[in-house]
Structure 1
């Protein structure tokens, strides 16, 4: 987490620091990113950096926290307006997530840094930070389908949401096969969950 002094900054300055950091991380291997390169691009004194963040890992985690918030807001909007079946909704959410994550070269590069280059401990902390919001998203979805009568009323919604969240946040562990279709794997996982949650007459 950034230090409180960062959150006390104006929106313009916070945005300038974050955008500058995104540019640096997007164009350099994670191990080659330095505080000097970040402060130069963000146009802030080096001493100021340590008033705002503990280190570059801390800043990288904050970047993904912001990205995660934006993505969750997008997906919550899809959930609340949906009249689709569970499978259709999940498929559309996967499609919208893919568009969001690949909307520009910077986002594609940041995702690549996260998947392939940042330390495993940093990756685990980022995923742990995403867990509550992602669980809340799936709890909301499941509650909608319980209310519609598609899912059983006796299911443990939190347990189901935890299962889906754990699977999706760790989807890259599903297979190490080159060119594996992770989107298809997500749909298979959700279809399996749907069979277990469905209400049958």
Structure 2
């Protein structure tokens, strides 16, 4: 967590500092991200980072929390019970996620890179914890759908939840692999991840939903 000295910075200085590190972690893996290059760019002493945070991991963890909180303002209000079926809810998460991306490109790029970042050798111990937490969220979604008779019961919720989680990753992986999005170019230009590709993303989501419905919906 940030030290008191960071919280005492003027808002514009705090934002400048935060944005610079969001960009660095979005462009490079955790282990490759350089504190030295960022502080050089900002024109501050490297020691300033340690006046604000205990270490690199402390700074990274803070950024994870901050970006997650921003995204939660866009999708946190969505409730499954407000939708007639799970798949409309699932699609809505992406629709509101697109708005988050367009309005908060740096935070979106940081979160887009997060899975790769926590796979960095020096912080791989965090990967299992984050994976377990994320998969549990999907598993709970599945359990709720099974309970109301929407999803099939013959496959364990844990398996269905993990499959749903992997499908959500595959959507982005497909767009990257097919060249529909180029995160390196977009962040270098200060553009959102899905700049002018919003319709492509949602069309791909719809295609995955058809596959997922066939696999998970109660027969």
Q: Same fold (TM over 0.5)?
A: yes
TM-score normalized by the length of structure 1 = 0.64
Cα drift, residue 161 of structure 1? 1.2
Q: Give the Cα–Cα distance (whole angstroms) in 1 for the partners of residues 138 and 10 of structure 2.
A: 30
Q: Could you say which residue in structure 2 is the equivalent of 1:132?
A: 132
Q: Could you say which residue in structure 2 is the equivalent of 1:23?
A: 19
Q: Could you say which residue in structure 1 is the equivalent of 2:120?
A: 121
Does residue 66 of the first structure (1) align with residue 66 of the second (2)? yes
Pick closer, same or farther for the CA change 1:77–1:13 going to 2, 3 Å: same
RMSD: 4.4
Pick closer, same or farther for the CA change 1:130–1:33 going to 2, 3 Å: same
Deviations 1:23-50 (A, max 9, x none): 2135676578644744996x89816617
Pick closer, same or farther for the CA change 1:61–1:182 going to 2, 3 Å: farther
TM-score normalized by the length of structure 2 = 0.60
SS at 2:120 equivalent: helix
Pick closer, same or farther for the CA change 1:134–1:11 going to 2, 3 Å: farther
SS at 2:103 equivalent: coil
Unpaired stretches in structure 1, ≥5 consecutive residues: 1-5
Q: Give the Cα–Cα distance (whole angstroms) in 1 for the partners of residues 128 and 173 of structure 2.
A: 16
Q: Could you say which residue in structure 1 is the equivalent of 2:7?
A: 12
Q: Give the Cα–Cα distance (whole angstroms) in 1 for the partners of residues 118 and 216 of structure 2.
A: 37
User: Which moves more between the two structures, 183-192 or 45-54?
Assistant: 45-54
Pick closer, same or farther for the CA change 1:86–1:21 going to 2, 3 Å: same
Pick closer, same or farther for the CA change 1:130–1:71 going to 2, 3 Å: farther
Cα drift, residue 190 of structure 1? 3.3
Q: Give the Cα–Cα distance (whole angstroms) in 1 for the partners of residues 132 and 206 of structure 2.
A: 21
Deviations 1:48-82 (A, max 9, x none): 61783433x76345413432355357545413443
SS at 1:102 equivalent: helix
Q: Could you say which residue in structure 1 is the equivalent of 2:180?
A: 179
Q: Could you say which residue in structure 2 is the equivalent of 1:54?
A: 55
Q: Give the Cα–Cα distance (whole angstroms) in 2 for the partners of residues 145 and 108 of structure 1.
A: 29
SS at 1:107 equivalent: helix
Cα drift, residue 92 of structure 1? 0.7
Pick closer, same or farther for the CA change 1:11–1:147 going to 2, 3 Å: farther
Pick closer, same or farther for the CA change 1:173–1:162 going to 2, 3 Å: same
Q: Give the Cα–Cα distance (whole angstroms) in 2 for the partners of residues 64 and 128 of structure 1.
A: 16
SS at 2:90 equivalent: helix
